[in-house]
Amino acid sequence: MTRRWVRVTPANVLDLSENLTLRQFRVEAKYTAARLNALPETRKLANDFEEAADKLALLEEEEARMAVQRAESQAMVETADDAWDDVMHALQRRLLDLSGSSTDHEIYRKYFADLPSQVTRLSYNAEIMISKDLERTLSEESIDELRSFAERLRSKREPLENTLVERTRMEVDEARFQNRVAMAKTILNKLRRTGHASLEEVGLAHGRTRDWAARFFHAKNEHLDTSDREGASSDAPAGAASLNGEASAITESFPEAPSA
């Protein structure tokens, strides 16, 4: 019975895990581009990987900028919240002064009977809702000093709301950015698969072994001889699909193609 060599290129061997960072994807693209550029017969395939690496580098820079902006935005939210907390604490202290330090006094219970004592530890949205209710009630207060707290709370509540809106807008931008990241990773994995198929054809045309194409896609490769292994990187990216034993196991399961 004549046995026929069947070419198999499983996606789970070539595809990088989506959990890898942008930097790890970029390094893999750069590695493949460098390997391709090193040989005249594969140099024409390198450009696509170089372009992919450049685009991933731009995404890395944008990711770093967004991380700084996220930290700055959160700092602004917490600063605005602290300012509102200060006014709320001042209101509580004044109400306790007027009620003789009794939380059961009518004037204190008028404002805090239905509010937790640690009102400033609630969520931002809860604090905003409570502030609006207090502002309405305080604006009708007969005691001038207490009535002034309506404006004081409003003047601190509005900046808190505005900073939360900006933070939410940033969250939307980050979601869009993550979509672009996912697309870039998908494109590189597709490029790795199509590149591998092209390299198999090049390898066949130049009499290379069947595992030759796999060497272009992983920095740590057991198919290399001893001296090559000593010069290769020893820290393969965590989560990347290994080409070490799997590629050889797959290719060696088929006999060599019959010579023409």
Task: List, for residues 234-246, the tens digit of each pLDDT value.
Answer: 444 444 444 344 3
pLDDT of residue 39 exceeding 50: yes
Q: Give the residue-averaged pLDDT of 112-136.
A: 90
Least confident piece of the model among 73-77, 118-122, 201-205, 220-224: 220-224
User: Would the pTM count as exceeding 0.85?
Assistant: no
Residue 224's pLDDT is: 45
Return the domain boundaries, the chain.
11-252
Contacts of 89 (CB under 8 A, 6+ apart): 120
Q: Are 28 and 237 in contact (CB under 8 A)?
A: yes
CB atoms within 10 A of CB 126: 12
CA proximity to 16, closest of 46, 56, 51, 54? 56
Residue 10's pLDDT is: 54
pLDDT above 90 coverage of the chain, percent: 68
What's the gap between Cα 50 and its chain centre?
Answer: 23
**Is the model more confident about 39 or about 255?**
39
- pLDDT class for 247, splitting at 50, 70, 90? very low
Helix (H) or strand (E) holding 96: helix 46-98
Least confident piece of the model among 30-39, 188-197, 209-218: 209-218
pLDDT of residue 8 exceeding 90: no
| Distance, first Cα to last Cα, the chain | 18
The C-alpha atoms of residue 260 and residue 241 are separated, in whole angstroms, by: 34
